[in-house]
Amino acid sequence: MDKVQKFEYQQNVEAYLEEKQVFELLEGLLRKLIVHKPEDPYTFMMQKLQKAEPKRIFITGPPGSNRKEVALALAEHFNWSCISVGDLLKKEVSKKSDLGKTIFESLKQHKYVDDNVVLELVKAQVEYFEKDHTSWIIEGFPRTKSQALALQKQGIIPDRFIMLDVQKEEQIKKIRANLLLQSHRPGHETDAIALKAQQEHELENKGVKSAFNNFIYEYDTTGKSQGDIANDLARILRIRFKSNAPRRPPRIILLGPPGSGRSTQATAIAKKFGLVHLCTRTILKNEISKGTPNAKDIQLCIDEGRMVPDQTVLPLIEQRLKMTDCKVNGWILDGFPQTESQINLLNQLKIKPSLVCIFEQPEEVSVRRVCNRRTDPETGDHYNLILNPPQEEAISKRLLHVSEDREDIVKTRYAIWNDTVPRIEDAYKKVLLNIQTDNTPASITEIISDAIQNPIG
């Protein structure tokens, strides 16, 4: 076996281990062994392997963070059961038992209910779902370090712990509103109780963080709608939790309509992770500059907003992907694949991307962004007359509005993109990440980076 054969064999083995998530499987089993310490590890592991492990999600947050509403939306989205600690407490109060009376007094003062009371109610629900092997999400728990440690002693380790946050002023405002609904206290008294409740949450939250530090994902809900929060968290929950398992070099695909900022992100991600940036448009324009036999046809397609024929594109992409730098360092494909033939090429090359990002934005945004774009013929730099106009008058005077940036061409390209989306979603649904382009460039880079480091699965 020569060096090339050895390299290809190693790549095939790594591809299998990654596709089947073998390293994550072994890591998960080892973690369960440490937590449960069974007398018969072999039988214990066999039993765990015979059943799909249920998901266990914790979501906490202060008043005003829409914690319960978000938890219910996520439970419905993933078809999980939802445990609401607030509902459990209110149900107990409705029974008018001694325990219910104790809970009522705490709630009336906006104080935390005794840990032992909360644990007793939660433990019964968790045990029921665990016995039934049902995935569940619990909101409003754990709220104290004691609750967090008690859960760990039970051997319950979260797959994800989402800790919502909202500005202090919003927390106090929500608490005051709740207090006014419950009683007719003077304003100054209500303010004092609200402030004390907010401070109690802040203090207890530190203890929870120390107990579950490695599992917590913090999310600021300030200024975001309930729907946007739920959508963002659904994306986070589709990403595998941080793992120490070895990984192959990333194989990333970025696709999107014109003016979506796709190429800007591809450049940033390639630099951050040391990947080879394969931009379809750049590869095609290189063919034009070389004056190859297909150069005129390629230029005509670009000018008219049409897709360059696959018989021209496929050999160029295949040749580039087979180069050693792509195999060793990993790559980020910018604008490819889009057609059925292009998807089939990657399948024939046995290339399975680790992440596919689809950039989403309305047609009017694409038109506004691209039609205001200008190019400096001397440097090749791009400017936007609205977002980032040139600072020097000399540059402004020589800027060009290239034909491919006309409104009619942009709309043609957008229509082609719209037809492409269902094909991509169907082919890569297991590794798909939707990106909203109304986020800042920095936050989009962070979202993509998180998905690369913690693959979707």
Q: Which residues of the chain have pLDDT under 70?
A: 1-8, 11, 18-19, 21, 23-24, 35, 179-188, 214, 239-247, 455-457
Q: Torsions phi, psi of 248, nearest 5? A: -75, 165
Torsional sign, CA 60, 192, 222, 210:
negative
pLDDT of residue 13: 73
Quote the pLDDT of residue 74.
92
Give me the DSSP letters along 150-163: HHHHTT---SEEEE
Q: What pairing do the DSSP bridges indicate for beta strands 251-255 and 331-334?
A: parallel
Q: Domains (ranges, CATH) in the chain?
A: 54-238 (3.40.50.300), 251-453 (3.40.50.300)
Tokens in use for 3? Answer: 């060096």
**pLDDT at residue number 43:** 86
pLDDT at residue number 25: 73
**417: which 2 tokens?**
């993109």
Confidence (pLDDT) at 193: 75
Task: In whole angstroms, give the CA distance from residue 202 to residue 62.
Answer: 9
Q: Which long-range contacts (CB under 8 A, 24 or more apart) does 190-199 make?
A: 193/109, 193/110, 194/110, 197/63, 197/110, 197/111, 198/62, 198/63, 198/168, 198/171, 198/172
Q: What is the pLDDT of residues 415-454, one digit of tens each?
A: 999 999 999 999 998 889 989 888 888 889 988 998 887 7
The predicted structure's pLDDT at residue 380 = 74
DSSP assignment, residue 64?
Answer: T
- Which pTM does this prediction carry? 0.60
CA dihedral sign, ordered 316, 318, 324, 326: positive
C-alpha pair distances (Å), 269 with each of 165, 244, 337, 432: 28, 21, 18, 17
Interval 74-107: pLDDT, tens: 999 889 999 999 999 999 889 888 888 888 888 7
Collapsed DSSP state (helix, strand, coil) of residue 338: coil
Contact 386, 434 (CB under 8 A): no
